Amino acid sequence: MKPLKLSYKPLKLTLIMKDKTNQDLKADLRLAPATLAKLNKDEYVALSVIHKICEYLECPIQEVVEFVEDKFEQF
């Protein structure tokens, strides 16, 4: 099995399509700066946060996060 990592690239695209910014997420959802930093670094955030983002953007989870092959991870 190939190693996978998180990618929030779909979130970036969804924000553009919905004319929203990270600052909108921060202000409207009261997200902590550390949470935004994790999103920008493709690090894990709580599923409850992903759920809030999906509700806010009125989109399925696939438009926020995806798993992609980690080409740098080795066993």
CATH number of the domain to which 20 belongs: 1.10.260.40
Q: Mean pLDDT over residues 1-20, rounded?
A: 94
Q: Mean pLDDT over residues 23-42, rounded?
A: 96
The answer to whether position 74 is within a domain reads no
Tell me phi and psi for residue 21, to 5 degrees: -130, 170
In terms of residue numbers, what domain contains 32?
4-69
Asked if pLDDT for residue 69 goes beyond 60, the answer is yes
The answer to whether position 75 is within a domain reads no
> What integer best gives the mean pLDDT of the chain?
93
The pLDDT value recorded for residue 46 is 96
Per-residue tokens: 67: 């798993």
Q: Which residue has the higher pLDDT, 73 or 14?
A: 14
pLDDT band at 3 (very low <50, low <70, confident <90, very high): confident
Q: Is 50 helix (H, G, I), strand (E, B) or coil?
A: helix
Q: Which residues are within 8 A (CB) of 6 and not within 5 positions of it... i.e. 6 or more apart? A: 42, 43, 44, 65, 66, 67, 68
Alpha helical stretches, state H, the chain: 9-17, 22-29, 33-40, 47-57
- The pTM assigned to this predicted structure is 0.88
